[in-house]
Structure 1
């Protein structure tokens, strides 16, 4: 994965939400979830993208990747479960907290995954929390 660039999309999302005047607690939740999704792309996929959608109702972040997919989504949602390589873990990543952290930060989370194709993570955040 492109570890030097990891975190750039989350930083851009954070900056954009700040410019829109979104409250800091909501920005924090969106930023954490976006960073975790971005790291999952860097660690597990061949390539991917992060899409930010903001309207009057909610903020949505969509993380799409082309990669291996998630073989067992229920297992992947458990804290501490990881399929990251030893090399990735030695760098301090792949602790198995990505998806659980995303779930904690989002108001709605949908994950579509297909083996040997990729994964789409749809994260929704409500303004009133």
Structure 2
């Protein structure tokens, strides 16, 4: 892999069944590139959690992935309601998901904490009423 590979995915905000397609496709590509299983695992979990958050909270969004020999950068952007209290949202178990989402097994309040846990760096840029962009990186070397 001499040059970077750029991937772009739309995340449908109304479809739990398709949530995870971006992370699955990225995983497949990383496997073909010979990236280590541990790096693939971290990227897959962090991306999947972000996709689910976009479906639950933001009505969808986009996922951009930049793969270089040194790292994988993931940018998840949405035009949802934004995160009113990032510090609170980062606490494991805290969730603003409605009961109907919790009743189908989502919204347990582990999405953002898992995204931080499985990425080597993470930054959240959010504005209430305008949306959220999350920047994550997973280092290969």
TM-score of the two chains, using structure 1 as the length reference: 0.96
Structure 2 residues not aligned, in runs of 5+: 1-13
Task: Give the Cα separation in 2 of the matches to 1:5 and 1:119.
Answer: 21
Task: Give the Cα separation in 2 of the matches to 1:65 and 1:31.
Answer: 19
Q: List 4+ stretches of structure 1 deviating above 2 A.
A: none
Q: Which moved more, 1:66-75 or 1:55-64?
A: 55-64
What are the residue-to-residue correspondences of 1:2-81 with 2, within 5 Å?
A: 2-81=15-94
Task: Give the Cα separation in 1 of the matches to 2:61 and 2:32.
Answer: 25
2:102 counterpart of 1:89: yes
Number of aligned residue pairs: give it.
128
Structure 1 residues not aligned, in runs of 5+: none
Give CA deviations for 1:71-90 in whole Å, capped at 9, x if unaligned. Answer: 00000000000000100000
Task: Give the Cα separation in 1 of the matches to 2:138 and 2:123.
Answer: 12
